[in-house]
Amino acid sequence: MLVAERYEKIVQLVMDRGSIRVSELSELCEVTEETIRRDLDRLEQAGRLRRSHGGAVSVKEQQEIPYTEREVIRAEEKKRIARAAIKLIAPKERILLDASSTAWYMASSVPDIPLTVLTNSIKVSTELSHKEKIEVISTGGILAQRSLSFVGPLAERSLDAYHVDKVFLSCKGVHLERGISESNELQARVKSKMIGMADEVILLVDSSKFGMQAFTHVAELSQVHTVITDRRLPEAVASELRERSIKVHMV
């Protein structure tokens, strides 16, 4: 395979998958990992992808994926994660749901029990509006059209007025050393606020998010109490999380 052909193959793989590891590219392109790292450096300089720790992400990953697309990406895993998360909710609790598609799956399945739910998500608010015993509080703020969520200074200030028992949120990347990250700075700022106002932080992420570092830092993993993910998560990663006193539910 010519170098130019390899470059095109790498770019196409990154675009198709959104993100990919160096080790995978090495196998698929049948070259050493060191060669792949040099290729990724050159392709990043050309603006065709962006390097991440251990691999590369598509340049479009720096923007939010539209909600309609996120709904169908790994939908079955997200539904299982959402169902497991609902089991952690007790009547009369005050909880916070972010604008992730997994949080929406939670909202659609949570029983109509006495709860107070704070959210910055239009989809979550709409879904819960049909449940009479659940009080819904929306943050307000600037409407992020791609995610159907409220962000910006008003959303951040409104969060300052509340304290919740539990926050359920997702993210773009989870890295054992570099923590939780998001593709969009405004979303990252809101999620960082959410984490700071909850007694318990519950991270809802499918296994593809692990090992990835997105554009903007949200929080350190030490701020997370529980991770709910799917069974594809490597046991070594799960063990590392448990060693850090983070509860891990693989569903």
Question: Quick one: 3 exposed, middle or buried, by C-beta within 10 A (0-12, 13-18, 19+)?
Answer: exposed
Decide if 197 contacts 167 (C-beta within 8 A): yes
AA identity, residue 185: E
pLDDT tens digits along 37-73: 999 999 988 778 888 778 888 766 555 555 555 555 6
CA 102 from centre of chain: 9
d(CA 215, CA 172): 9
Please name each of the domains of the chain with its CATH number: 3-62 (1.10.10.10), 67-250 (3.40.50.1360)
pLDDT tens digits along 119-175: 999 999 999 999 999 999 999 999 998 889 999 999 999 999 999 999 999 998 999
d(CA 233, CA 246): 15
- Tell whether the model's pLDDT for residue 250 goes beyond 80: yes
Written as six digits, the tokens of 111 are 């029983």
Strand partners, 203: 169, 227
Would you give the DSSP letter of residue 59? G
Number of continuous H segments (helices) and E segments (strands) in the chain: 10, 15
